Amino acid sequence: MNSGNWYAGDVAGVRMEGWLCEALFKYFPDAPPKIFVRCDPLPAGVNPVRDNRPGEGIRFVGPDDYSR
C-alpha cells in the first residue's frame, strides 16, 4: 500500500518540505519525481483552515473536477 510521498524545494529562498497523502495516487500511478504547484487567491468566504466553522464552505478538488 502506498502512503504518499515527501517533496522538498526552495520557495522564495526558504527551504520547504511537504507530504502529499495517498490521494496522490488518484492522479498518478506512481509518485512523480517533481510536482509543480500554482496558488491562486481563495474565493471570498472560503476558510483556508479546515476547522469546520458553521456557515463556511469547504471544497475538496478531486479528479472529477478536471474531467470536463
Each domain of the chain, given as residue ranges in start order, spans 1-43
Q: Produce one character per residue of 45-64: b if its CB has 16 or more CB atoms within 10 Å, e if not.
A: eeeeeeeeeeeeeeeeeeee
User: What's the pTM?
Assistant: 0.52
Beta bridge partners of 7: 18
* The 3-state secondary structure of 28-55, one letter per residue: CCCCCCCCCCCCCCCCCCECCCCCCCCC
Q: How confident is the model at residue 39 (pLDDT cuts 50, 70, 90)?
A: confident
41, pLDDT greater than 90: no
The set of cell numbers assigned to 46 is 472560503
Mean pLDDT of 12-38: 89
